[in-house]
Amino acid sequence: MGKNYSATLRVTGGKNPFGWSLVSGRLPGGLSFDSLTGKITGTPTTAGDFDFTVAVADSLGGSAFKDLTLVIKPLPHATWGLCPAIYYSVNDLWVGQTAVGDLNGDGRMDVAVAARGYGEGPCGRNALLVYYQDTFGGLSGQEVIDGLDICLRRIAVGDLNGDGKDDLAVSGISRYPH
């Protein structure tokens, strides 16, 4: 299936010119039969066994039949699986939501993490941590976006302004009573 196929039926004996015909059965979808040349050509689109009978007649009125079978094999299935998990430590932070996107525009997906307990103090602070994916598939180059005066709730990544680069959206609740 999916590959170009070409075969020419041949006859021994008889007298030119020959005329070919498909007298019963059917060709695999995507293939066609040329009654002048005896050529079967095309790209099969359906897998299966296809039985058909061709006839050939020569210029003296002689004829012959032949039963043929074309076996079209299905395309190989793509193989997939789950890779082993990769673990990254973010120290002792209480990690909230994560979001994935190419945040520095280098073509590699990065990970943003909403974290609590960052920095000094009994409870630390809310911070956004961004880990950039390196050329080896690892995460490095942590960037800390600190000083957020909100309790982080949700983060999301998307191209918000349509410039082709991912942006980071953050929502949360004010830390201070009004």
Q: In what order do the strands lie in the sheet with 5-8?
A: 5-8, 39-42, 31-34
Closest separation in Å from C-beta 168 to Ca ion: 9
Compute φ and ψ for 160, nearest 5 degrees: -75, -30
Give whichever of 143 and 146 is closer to Ca ion, judged by the CB atom: 143
Choose among 148, 149, 145: nearest CA to 130: 145
- Contact, 103 vs 157, CB < 8 A? yes
**What is the CB-side half-sphere exposure of residue 45 using CA atoms within 13 A?**
5
Closest separation in Å from C-beta 147 to Ca ion: 22
Contact between 163 and Ca ion by CB under 5 A: the answer reads yes
Q: Which residues contact 77 (CB under 8 A, 6 or more apart)?
A: none
Among 102, 116, 119, 148, binds Ca ion (CB under 5 A): 102
Q: Which residue stretch of 25-33, 41-49, 69-77, 107-115 sits at the interface with Ca ion (rule: CB under 5 A)? A: 107-115
Closest separation in Å from C-beta 171 to Ca ion: 17
- Contact, 70 vs 47, CB < 8 A? no
Contact between 58 and Ca ion by CB under 5 A: the answer reads no
Give whichever of 58 and 167 is closer to Ca ion, judged by the CB atom: 167
Closest separation in Å from C-beta 126 to Ca ion: 23
Cα 85 from Cα 97, distance rounded (Å) = 18
Amino acid, res. 19 = G
Q: Which residue stretch of 14-22, 87-95, 135-143, 164-172 sits at the interface with Ca ion (rule: CB under 5 A)? A: 164-172
Give whichever of 28 and 110 is closer to Ca ion, judged by the CB atom: 110
Give whichever of 21 and 104 is closer to Ca ion, judged by the CB atom: 104
- The binding site for Ca ion (CB under 5 A) comprises 102, 104, 106, 108, 110, 159, 161, 163, 165, 167
